[in-house]
Chain A
Amino acid sequence: MQIRMNANGKLVIEVKLSASVATVDLPLQLVRYEFLSRVAEGALPGSFSRECYEDILGFKSKLLKRLEERRTIDEEESENDSDLSFRIIRLNPDGLIDDRIVEVNFDE
């Protein structure tokens, strides 16, 4: 993931999931940049309009879509795995990430 200038001279956050799929870009305007900075600091004033939030949701959906493509192309999800493992990510009461791996032995 990097911040770079695109072909039109605009700053974007560029996420590249793998060599096999195109990047997903989030153009950065001042308001969006401020929004993201505030979220990173852990507090978001209500004066930001929902537009920023919806923009990020849209960006998330595009990333998920690209992830689906990457998985199909790279045949990652070997769907015959007898091991299912999941990373369950939660926020604990202190606002810190709690990341645990869960494994299931199940072979249909």
Chain B
Amino acid sequence: MPVVLSRIDDRLIHGQVVIGWGGPLRFTRIALVSDEVAASDWEQDLYRMAVPGGMAIEFASAAEATARLPVWLSAPEPLLILTGDVETMASLVDASEGRIPEVNLGGIHHRPGRTERLRYVYLDEAETRQLQRLEAAGVRVTAQDLPTATPVPLGELLA
């Protein structure tokens, strides 16, 4: 299974991702799915600078990612799928035909309308329903900022 981590993190590429998770999981490919970043060559250059040597990064909008998913999932190299929001990740999971079995909530920070669940996870009602829907469909949803932390299952997160 090439997808070693499917992470929702509104900071996208940062130290926790490439060092904290990259070290233990040794992914060599990153698929960064963001409409905003996909539309900006400048932003893409910025995130390329943030990725260590030896890691390849590809950028895609949510719509493009749905189409490219089969290609990403068919390559053997360990892959990180990274999105900045719940909706984008949910659309990828829906399109994956079960090949994205887990979703990691790594950083969804405060915005108006969101309720704090953990220091690094805030969710509004729509996001909560999306995640609950994924879980009901058999996807394991946990909050875990770093691999050294204890993962918090969705049910516990929302209790």
A-B complex is real = no
**Could you list which residues of chain B lie within 8 angstroms of chain A, going by C-beta atoms?**
none
Q: A residues within 8 Å of B by Cβ?
A: none
